[in-house]
Structure 1
């Protein structure tokens, strides 16, 4: 026999209060909050009203969220522009906000970041064949969301330096 835990009914006021608490603890976007409200089985109209209130009260700000998200994923996760943009699109962030956030990256720091992660990858890779090594490094850079041309340029520099 299966037992399903019955969800507690949650009022709109309580949902708003919980959402405010969540937003005060960590930067969120409206997509994240809408998912939570769906989990709490809040009606669509009430969801819209709660999100509107959160925006008016400055608990939610898509631009602020996008800038924090992009900066954190770049600095701490060492992701490239493509991966960051893809993840933000999945959260239904507008294209212009994504581009604004990504344009704030310092180009030298961005290139150095890719250089550093590829250099670390070379040290841990046992591949001897230079073509296989290039392919492995390229796939690694692509998985991290870095642009193809930049990846190839830095890979070629690193491989020519090690030979």
Structure 2
């Protein structure tokens, strides 16, 4: 059974049209669907064609939502798929929409990965390991990640790691040198820099060691810990105090010196 298009009416929403069949409103379509199917007044359509028009319009609406999402910034394919799911786009329409976006070169995970690496390299303190993890979270393929990370050259890595190391050294300036270096190394590893590069950076930095300040810090910390352990007998008090101070990064020789100078 066929029905005749008796009226095509523009909606208030730009680019969409109402289709009337046999004098009654039937469905709405996007302009591109109207043109693709060459809809015009007087055209007769059957139930199968009507369903094709409705399906095509569902795809057109999903495509429009995807374009809106992509208009703000570059997106990975996985992000667009998740967005369409969040918008409750029918699952069977998503592959069609994704294919259309790829054909228009609006989606390209390699381009996304390249841009992501470039941005992180220039504006953040993240090393390649963390960047790789973030791209994996976006479901970017390993080969694409490898290609993108080639743009994060060694000189830039050293520069970024050095800036971070200098910042961390200032932050931990009151910590004993040994512990300070451990904390800086751990910070750089957490940010995604590899061990050999961290060693290179720390070897090249001029790290100021102030024995007087370190002794002052040891005296301050030791006095507090010694007082806190006063409930223990002398031998256990000494042992616990030494253990705490070693854990804070002070050298055993300096700790023993403090003990010798502060015997009860």
Whose radius of gyration is greater, 1 or 2? 2
Cross-structure match for 1:43: 90
Give how far 1:140 is off.
0.8
Which structure has more relative contact order (CA 8 Å, sep 6+)? It is: 1
Cross-structure match for 1:14: 61
2:119 to 61, 72, 75: 72
Give how far 1:46 is off.
1.2
1:162 to 208, 220, 223: 208
Q: Which has the higher helix share?
A: 1
Q: CA RMSD in A?
A: 1.6
Cross-structure match for 2:166: 119
Task: Supply the distance in 1 between the matched residues of 2:174 and 2:146 (Cα, whole angstroms).
Answer: 37
TM-score in terms of structure 1 length: 0.86
TM-score in terms of structure 2 length: 0.54
TM-superposition CA deviations, 1:62-119 (whole Å, max 9, x none): 1110100111112112210000011111111111110111011232122111101111
Task: Supply the distance in 2 between the matched residues of 1:15 and 1:143 (Cα, whole angstroms).
Answer: 40
In structure 1, stretches of 5+ residues that fail to align are 1-10
Does 1:142 find its partner at 2:189?
A: yes
Contact in 2 for aligned 1:54/1:60 (Cα 8 Å): yes
Task: Supply the distance in 2 between the matched residues of 1:139 and 1:46 (Cα, whole angstroms).
Answer: 47
Give the paired residue count: 152
Which shifted more, 56-65 or 149-158?
A: 149-158
Give how far 1:55 is off.
0.8
Contact in 2 for aligned 1:83/1:145 (Cα 8 Å): yes
Q: Which has the higher strand share?
A: 2
